Amino acid sequence: MQDVLKNLNAAQREAVTTTEGLIRVVAGAGSGKTRALAHRFAYLVNEAGILPGNILCVTFTNKSAGEMRQRIRQLTGDSDAGYICTFHSFCVSVLQEDSHAVQYPKRFLVLDNSDIDTMLQTVYEERNLTLRHMTFSRARDMIEIRKLFQEPDYYQDMLAMPLEGLREKYLSAAAVEDIIFYGYLYQEKRCFGLDYNDLIKFTLYLFEQDAGIRLKWQRRLEYIMIDEFQDIDELQYKLMCVLCGYHRNLFIVGDPDQTIYTWRGANVKYLLDFDKAFPNCKTIMMMQNYRSSPQILRAANSLISKNVHRIKKELLSTLPDSGPVFFHHAESAEQEAEWIAAKIAELEQQGVPYQDITILYRAHYVTRTLEEVFRRRKLPYVIYSGAQFFDRKEIKDALSYLRMTAYRDDLSFQRIVNTPKRNLGEKRMRFLKLYAEQNGCSLYEALHRCLEDELFRNTKARPFIQLIEGTAARYAGKPVSEVLGILLNRSGYEEMLRTEGNQDRLDNLAELKQSIYEYEAACGEECTLEDYLSHVALFSNSDTSERRNAVKMMTVHTAKGLEFPYVFLCSLCEGVFPSVKTKTLPAMEEERRLAFVAMTRAEGGLFLSDNAGRNIDGSSRIPSRFVFDIDRLLLQYTAELPESLVAEASDHIRFHQRQLSALAAGPSFSAGQRISHPIFGDGAILAIDREASTYTVQFDDIPTPRSISFRVRITPL
Binding site, annotated residues: 27-34
Asked if 373 contacts 333 with a C-beta cutoff of 8 angstroms, the reply is no
Cis upstream peptide for 623 (omega within 30°):
no
Sort strands 602-611 and 381-383 into parallel, antiparallel or unpaired.
Answer: unpaired
**Catalytic residue (choose from 258, 459, 471, 600):** 258
Count of Cβ atoms closer than 10 Å to residue 123 Cβ: 19
Residue 379 to residues 337, 372, 373, 642, Cα–Cα distance (Å): 12, 10, 8, 32
**What is the four-CA torsion angle of 345, 349, 354, 359, rounded to 10 degrees?**
-40
Given the residues 24, 33, 291, 625, the one annotated as active site: 33
Q: Does the annotation count 498 as an active-site position?
A: no
Q: How many CA atoms lie within 13 A of 465 on its CB side?
A: 16
Active site residue 601: yes
| Catalytic residue status for 372 | no
Omega before residue 380 within 30° of 0, cis:
no
| Active-site option among 228, 257, 574, 610 | 228
Q: Are 390 and 594 in contact (CB under 8 A)?
A: no
CA neighbor of 87 nearest in space, from 76, 95, 99: 95
CB atoms within 10 A of CB 233: 17
Give the active site residue among 12, 24, 34, 335. Answer: 34
Distance CA 123, CA 117 (A): 10
Are 518 and 362 within 8 A, CB to CB?
A: no
User: Distance between CA 695 and CA 429 in Å, rounded?
Assistant: 68
- For 172: left if phi > 0, alpha if psi spans -120 to 50, otherwise beta; the answer is alpha
List the catalytic residue out of 115, 195, 227, 255: 227
Over the Cα atoms of the chain, what is R_g? 29
CA 56 from chain center: how many Å? 25
In one-letter notation, the amino acid at residue 496 is M
CB 260 within 8 A of CB 594: yes
DSSP-assigned letters across all residues of 380-411: -EEETTTGGGGGSHHHHHHHHHHHHHHT--HH
126 catalytic? Reply is no
Q: How many CB atoms lie within 10 A of CB 670?
A: 9
Question: Which residue type, as a one-letter code, is found at position 694?
Answer: T
- Residues in the annotated binding site for ATP: 27-34
The H helix count followed by the E strand count for the chain is: 30, 22
CA angle at residue 229 from 567 to 318, to 5 degrees? 45
70 catalytic per annotation: no
Q: Is 452 a catalytic residue?
A: no
Alpha-carbon separation of residue 682 from 76, 673, 686, 706 (angstroms): 75, 11, 13, 12
> Which residues belong to the active site?
33-34, 227-228, 258, 601
